[in-house]
Structure 1
Amino acid sequence: MDLFLLSRGLMKNLGSVLLAMLLMPAACIQIPDIEAPPDEPDCSAVGEEPIGIQWVSPMEGAQVGSSARLQVHLTGDTPEAVDLLVDGTAVATLKEPFVLDWETQSVSEGPHAFVVRARRCGQESLSTQRQLVVDRTKPSLIAQTPQDGAQWVSVHQTVRAELSEPVVAGSVNNSTVRLLAGQREVSAEVSLSQDGRVLTLQPLEPLPVSEVMRVVFDPSVADTAGNPVSMPSQGWSWRVPAFLPLGNSQTLWPRVDFFSFQVDRGGTPLVARLGTETSGVQVERWNGGAWQSLGAPLQGSTGDPQATECVLHLDPSDTPHVAWVQPKLDGSVEIHVRRWSGSAWTALGAPVIPILTQASVTDLRMKVESYGGVPVIAFKERNASELRVTVFRFQAGEWRSNVGSGAQSVPNLTSLHLELNQLNEQILGWSRTEYGFPGWAIYIVRKAGGSELGYVPSRHAESPMMAMTVGGDNRIVVASPVQSNGSQSVLVQEVLFGAGTWERVGDTYDRVTGRTDASTTALKFDAQGRLIMLLEEPESEASSSVRSLFIQRWNTDHWEPLGGALSANPGATPVSQSQLGTDKNGRIFLAWSEADEQDATQSRLHVFRPND
């Protein structure tokens, strides 16, 4: 081609390009970066400095969890690619500095062969094979003490967890395994067994009562594969109540229709009970591990019907006395009284016969005088025309009645109480209705030197008196019902002997807020002179028939609760006939009957001791 024509053509094309550029609007022109082609490895000296691969971690035979951190060290020529092979299959690529966090979900649990491969210029270098065990299963609790949801746990309970597999010892300490009472931490010594499977928490102080305890694990508590301990979905918690049961009432006492409860000064509980097991009265004492019978069942003559009531009392030397109402085949009744000699029951005189003819007997009460050990009994008797309270005292080997108390020809008389003061004067209390007057009148009578002194804390109560006790400082204390905010509350009042004015002990009281009726079943002074009140009350308005127990102690100017709601089957069955006792140290013991959870017709006797 002619050189001139070529030059002319080039110039023409260049002019066209310049013209097009001039016609374009002014703008920034983005010119994409042009990547330089990768440097081709210099393969001329291939094989002169081979690639070396050394494992850094994990160690041979190590366990790895859902993620495995793999690290190798390379020497020699720079590789084109570095791959992870598991059981001969490439699963991932390692980039410099050749550390990889590999997710193990693509392989099964168990042992696998791990190899790292480096490639360069068509040649491969392999690491040594490292056998690793994939373990994605978390350690779990297979046994716990206490059990999750346990209701009756001692304040001295050692906490123990057995795991399905070992955890790393270095991960277990009192910062990673914690014992909590509510939200408060309880100091405990935390230890792990040699095999790494049993974890123990030994509290450094008694567990707080009326609290829900729980154990919390930090995620750092893990097995060698890094799997943290798996806790149950509901957690691990239990209850530490203020009181613990004595014995197994479900099997020991099939059904208890009536009982009386006492505690000696050393803290040993005793019960006298009536039930389907025997036609007589059975007295039993707790021996530290089981209930032990005191002699054979007590009953009247052969062929007599089942006793209807019994009462147990201890004299100042802790000698048991028991009395019971014994019906006869001819329709009459007797009251029998026995004293425990240490090996047998001894009758105290002949049976007591009611004063009224053809009378029925209820509300049997008994006390023993503080000096001389003389027993006194009181009961309510009535026939077709009369109703009265009768008191008998054991003198010179026979029972002698006092001048008749109570009232004749009244519509009703109930809630009988008998106490003895330090002078062994008899204090009687009862409630009765009166013709022409609404409500219930509460009467307290003190028999002193052959005369009677009356105290009337209320004449128009809406319900009968609930409880009464006498203090060592000559105080009479009574609990009576009052209406407050649409429900029944408890009013506690006291009066000194010789004084005529009743004073309130705090405000009217109920334990559960809302429209639930509270009632007091016992008042008692402990050995330290502190007033204790035992209440029965529904736990909620929604379950008004399910009544639980609540204990209060008067503290200078207010009632303080001792523990929370108490029943053998919380939230399930109602309690009744609740009674309390105290020992010389002021420890409180409780007894009550409660419907069986499976069979509501069966009433079980439950006895509880302090959780201390």
Structure 2
Amino acid sequence: MLACDPLREYLELEKPPPEPPVLTVTLDSTAPRFCRAGESVLLSATVEGGTPDEVSLFLDGSHVVTLSEPYRFTLDCTTSPEGTFSFVMKARLETRSFESPPMSVTVDRTAPAVLGLNPQTRFPSGNEPLEFLFSEPMDPRSLQSTSAWVRDENGTPVPCQLTLVENGLRLRLIPDLPLKPPVTLTAELAPPMLTDLAGNPLRADEQFPQSVTWWPFTRTGPAPSEATIQEADFASDPGRTGRVLAWTETEALRERPLLVVARWTKEGWEPLPMPRSEEERIRAAISPRVAMDRAGRIVLAWVEGTLPSFIYVKRFDGTGWQSLGTPSPSKGGEVSGLSMTLETDGDPILAWSDEEVIHVARWELTGWNTFGGPLEANPERDTPATSPAIATEADQVMVAWSEIPVGEAQPQVIVWEYQNQGWAPVGTPLVGDRASRSSAKEIALLLKDSKPLVAWSEVSQDLRSHEVYFSRRDGLTGWTPPEALQALTGSSPPGTPRLALDRNGAPWIAWERQGGPYNFEHIVYRKRGESGWGPEQLVARGFLVNFQLDGQDTPWAAVRRGWTPEGVVLTRPQ
């Protein structure tokens, strides 16, 4: 028995020491995750598995305070900085440290703000939802069916379903019935129902009504420029597949308008190289005119200067702009009413008014042919020829303009044709309303099967009545009686009417008219069928840049707004 004692002592010496205690630190998970002014958060920790030497609270990795039992800390949300903070309790036992899982607390004393009402783009699609945008997520528990209301332009309530989307950053208002443009919806939040996740309600000054209008035409893509648009022109190629837009724009720090051109692609507007170099931008560019031939080549014309002013023309060959010089005389002039069309081979023909007469010039291989001008129907004084429109078909060229005919008192529509190396009148001048002594103002001209079609606007002598007329040349009877499209009223006459022909040769005419409670400009159009003109169709509010039909006879309208953003937008039916 004695021999066994050394062995027992050896075994006792080799016995491993007991495992040191392991502490488990837990932060109270029932503490609120959000806290606002006047509130506080109690951070309470429990330590299990032993008695720690020290327990400390850490905020985002930095030591805050060392605590004694019962390990509690009160966060005052009135004086604490705002933000989301990560808290951790750490317990130290001798040389070892144990920490709790992190717990986040958001201190939020700031009332949420309304950032806007979508859609914020002009000419939205009917698929774009009506929704409020907030500066921070809203609490779904605060949303009620009466948290917002919607009314139409007549003040009639529009029943809607309300739902928070994008994690509460947007409140979507979904009308029970589909929208039928044109319609204006005004949405308003009801105070003080909606709150953010911390319980802060929307500020009272954020809860004002906001409106969105859906028009029959919607934008086809983003606006080509965010600058202020001064003037613009839009054109399609003869195949009605290519589209090009030219415009002048200004920015706050730019004194002279910048001339810009872009063509339409499947991805939207593709800017082309600048048509003018820095050295060529000494004078401001005005009155841009653009056209595209069957090969996709783009011709651009514009005016520089006032007195004297000059016309310049360039052609885009796919990589850069090639100068075609200027058809203006060396001394310049006072150019107005610049109009351009392309012949079958893509060469441009220009018409413009200068010194009260009409000039026509055609590009021929290496230079400009003045084409037998200048033109005037009345050689007497104070009978200025203005607002020319030029059209060509095959080898035929016609020009129309406004001028007081011999023996008359008010301007009428004059149409001449170039034939046998000279110009000759096409029938008698056109006037829609002779009784009220109306004056012809702006003119659109097209040729179809060698016969001209004309649309024009007239303004009564007292400026209170405005009208749009149409006439076409019949080979047997001459001009058809002018057809009135729409009697207009307002403080200003309509802009230039736009004339287009569909695949069957039926004319479509678009123009601006004033109307509505604030007498705003609206763009409308009508199509002529076998039995006459169809009903007036609304495009949208704005100024008409141009109106074209594509290969499926779908109308496209380039619309200019009077303010940024989206100074010019290309639109088509919803």
Q: State the TM-score bracket (shorter-chain normalisation).
A: 0.5 to 0.7
Matched residue type, 2:216: A
SS at match of 1:594: coil
- 2:568 corresponds in structure 1 to 606
Larger Rg: 1
CA contact (8 A) 1:181 1:211 kept: yes
Q: Within the alignment, does 1:337 sit opposite 2:313 as a pair?
A: yes
**Aligned partners of 1:206 and 1:178: how far apart in 2?**
14
**Percent of residue pairs bearing the same amino acid type:** 15
3-state SS in 2 of match to 1:153: coil
How far off is 1:202 after superposition?
7.3
Q: Which residue of 2 aligns with 1:521?
A: 496
* Alpha carbons 2:118, 2:130 under 8 Å: kept: no
Q: When the two structures are aligned, how many residues end up with a matched partner?
A: 430
Match of 1:591, SS state, is strand
1:144–1:453 Cα change, 3 Å? same
Q: Which residue of 2 aligns with 1:320?
A: 298
Distance 1:191 1:403, change over 3 A: same
Match of 1:57 in 2: none
Question: With structure 1 as the length reference, what TM-score do the two structures score?
Answer: 0.56
Question: What secondary structure sits across from 2:568 in the alignment?
Answer: strand
Name the residue aligned to 1:584: 551
Equivalent position of 2:245 in the other structure = 270
Q: Tell me which residue corresponds to 2:358.
A: 389
| Mapped contact 1:591–1:606 kept (Cα < 8 A) | yes
Where 2:409 maps in the other structure, the secondary structure is: strand
Query: Deviations for 1:527-566, whole angstroms, at most 9, x for unmatched residues?
Result: 44341221243645xx6xx641331213533453333761
Structure 2 match to 1:238 = 212
TM-aligned CA distance change 1:235 to 1:334, over 3 Å: closer
Q: Name the SS of the counterpart of 2:439 in structure 1.
A: coil
Distance 1:388 1:536, change over 3 A: same
Instruction: Give the conservation status (yes or no) of the 8 Å contact 1:392–1:402.
Output: yes
Query: Cα–Cα, structure 1 residues 352 and 272, in superposed 2: closer, same or farther, change >3 Å?
Result: same
Equivalent residue, structure 2, for 1:431: 402
SS of the residue aligned with 1:487?
Answer: coil
SS in 2 for 1:312: strand
Q: Aligned AA for 2:536?
A: P
Query: C-alpha displacement at 1:428, in angstroms?
Result: 0.9
The answer for the alignment partner of 2:373 in structure 1 is 404
Given residue 444 of structure 1, which amino acid in structure 2 is its aligned partner? Answer: V
Aligned residue identity for 1:488: S
- Which of 305, 308, 327 aligns to 1:352? It is 327
Q: Shift of the alpha carbon at 1:368?
A: 0.6
Q: Residue 211 of structure 1 corresponds to which residue in structure 2?
A: 183
Q: Distance in 2 between matches of 1:281 and 1:196?
A: 44
Offset at 1:609?
Answer: 1.6
Q: Contact 1:149 / 1:236 at 8 angstroms: preserved in 2?
A: no
What is the SS of the residue equivalent to 2:401?
Answer: strand
Whether the aligned pair in 2 keeps the contact of 1:267 and 1:587 (CA below 8 Å) is no
**Aligned counterpart, 2:509:** 532
Q: Which amino acid aligns with 2:448?
A: G
Q: Which residue of 1 aligns with 2:439?
A: 463
Change in Cα spacing, 1:192 to 1:553, as seen in structure 2 (3 Å) is: same
- Give 1:313 deviation, angstroms: 1.4
Per the alignment, residue 477 of structure 1 pairs with: 454
State the match for 1:377 in structure 2: 350
How many angstroms apart in 2 are the aligned matches of 1:186 and 1:547? Answer: 25
1:365 is matched with: 339
Given the alignment of the two structures, is residue 496 of structure 1 paired with residue 476 of structure 2, yes or no?
A: no
For 2:416, which of 445, 450, 459 is the aligned residue?
A: 445
**What one-letter code is carried by the residue in structure 2 that aligns with 1:609?**
T
Once residues 155 and 515 of structure 2 are traced to their aligned partners in structure 1, the CA distance between those partners, rounded to angstroms, is 28
Partner of 1:252: 226
Superposition deviation, residue 266 in structure 1: 3.5
TM superposition shift of 1:444: 1.0
RMSD value over aligned CA atoms?
5.0
Following the alignment from structure 1 to structure 2, what is the Cα–Cα distance between the partners of residues 504 and 589?
25
The structural deviation recorded for 1:210 is 0.5
Residue 367 of structure 1: CA displacement? 0.7
Q: Distance in 2 between matches of 1:414 and 1:562?
A: 32
Alpha-carbon separation, structure 2, partners of 1:333 and 1:148: 43
Asked if 1 retains the 8 angstrom alpha-carbon contact of 2:443 and 2:496, the reply is yes
- Judged with a 3 Å threshold, the aligned counterparts in structure 2 of structure 1 residues 351 and 168 are, in CA distance, closer, same or farther, namely closer
Contact 1:193 1:199 (C-alpha < 8 Å) held by counterparts: yes
Once the two structures are superposed, residues 491-543 of structure 1 have per-residue CA deviations (whole angstroms, 9 ceiling, x without a partner) of 41312253423323345522x6xx65542422221544341221243645xx6
Question: Once the 2 structures are TM-superposed, how far is the Cα of residue 339 of structure 1 from its aligned partner?
Answer: 0.9
Residues 400 and 445 in structure 2, CA contact (< 8 A), matched pair in contact too: no
CA contact (8 A) 1:260 1:273 kept: no
The structural deviation recorded for 1:160 is 5.5
Contact 1:479 1:520 in 2 (8 A): no
Cα–Cα, structure 1 residues 154 and 506, in superposed 2: closer, same or farther, change >3 Å?
same
Could you say if the C-alpha distance between residues 410 and 314 of structure 1 is closer, same or farther in structure 2, counting changes exceeding 3 Å?
farther
Give the conservation status (yes or no) of the 8 Å contact 2:399–2:415. yes
Which residue identity lines up with residue 500 of structure 1 in the other structure? G
Deviation at 1:457, TM superposition (A): 0.9
**Cα deviations across residues 407-430 of structure 1 (Å, max 9, x unaligned)?**
245423244333324334222111
Partner Cα distance (1:504, 1:434) in 2 = 17
